[in-house]
Amino acid sequence: MILRHAAPALLGLSLITGPANALDLSSMTESERAEFGAQVREYLLENPEVILEAINILEQRNAAAEAQADQQLIAENADELFNDGYSWVGGNPDGDITLVEFMDYRCGYCRRAVPEVDALLAEDGNIRLIIKEFPILGDASVLSSRFAIATKQVAGDDAYKQVHDALLEFTGEPSEVTLRRISDGLGLDSDAILAAMDSDEVTEEIAKTRALAQRMRISGTPSFVLGTEMLRGFLPADQMKQIADGVRAERG
């Protein structure tokens, strides 16, 4: 019977090509559908690798679709990602590719990312780094970000980088006492910085970054934008370097 020989081929076509070539079971009689189902079951039991092949193809397609969607999000939000006018900029300010990091001082993986990002910048030398303060892990995270942003607004970029690094190494609970100790230890104007922490300017910067993260569908830290690619999570330096090289290659 034609149905017996066609079932495996039609099943494979349906699994691999998707809904566009899906089988129309409604055109079959009840007995034909029953026979078809039995043949499909028999085929899959004898050839389970077909299921794995279909799953792999589906995963590849989903990954490609997600990457394309992320690239569209980056293009739509490029100005706020790369030139917002308030986020700290480091690395090579004139680099040909930009790495944007959304981070939280209480995030363990953000701490793990520090030496990886440093290694990437040291090896490549042509990457511009932007830090986005994205406190999502509770009040302690917000307090730390307010302190860092206030430092930048009061004392400038160099002081911000010192405080940023200190907060990533700090393992205690942030409070006015501990933050003042950090600031005093760096020789900064602690009174001015602490007074600025609750300012509208600091609140606005955090709000803008949160709104940007929401548009970018970023819900965890660390999250990176590297050129035209979204990296949702921690990656070692060598993998980020490969992605940066790939972005450059696509530019020609």
**Contacts with 219 (C-beta within 8 Å, 6 or more apart), sequence order:** 136, 213
- In this prediction, residues 146-174 reach a mean pLDDT of 97
∠168-186-182 over CA atoms, to 5°? 50
* Residue 229 β-bridge partners: 226
User: How do residues 60-74 score in pLDDT, each as one tens digit?
Assistant: 777 777 777 889 999
Find the CATH number of the domain harbouring 144. 3.40.30.10
User: How do residues 86-124 score in pLDDT, each as one tens digit?
Assistant: 999 999 999 999 999 999 999 999 999 999 999 999 999
Same domain, 230 and 116: yes
Whole-number Å distance between alpha carbons of 61 and 50: 17
71 and 228 Cβ atoms separated by less than 8 Å: yes
Q: Which residue has the higher pLDDT, 66 or 194?
A: 194
- Classified as helix, coil or strand, 243 is helix
- In this prediction, residues 177-182 reach a mean pLDDT of 97
Q: State the pLDDT at residue 20.
A: 46
Same domain, 65 and 91: no
Same domain, 68 and 112: no
Q: State the pLDDT at residue 166.
A: 97
Same domain, 12 and 102: no
- Read off the pLDDT band of 18 (50, 70, 90): low
Same domain, 106 and 201: yes
| Mean pLDDT rounded to a whole number for the chain | 89
Same domain, 220 and 99: yes
Same domain, 17 and 100: no
Range of the domain at 167: 78-251
How many domains is the chain partitioned into structurally? 2
How far lies 194's CA from each of 87, 128, 183, 188, 249, in Å? 19, 29, 9, 11, 46
- In this prediction, residues 73-90 reach a mean pLDDT of 96
Same domain, 51 and 176: no
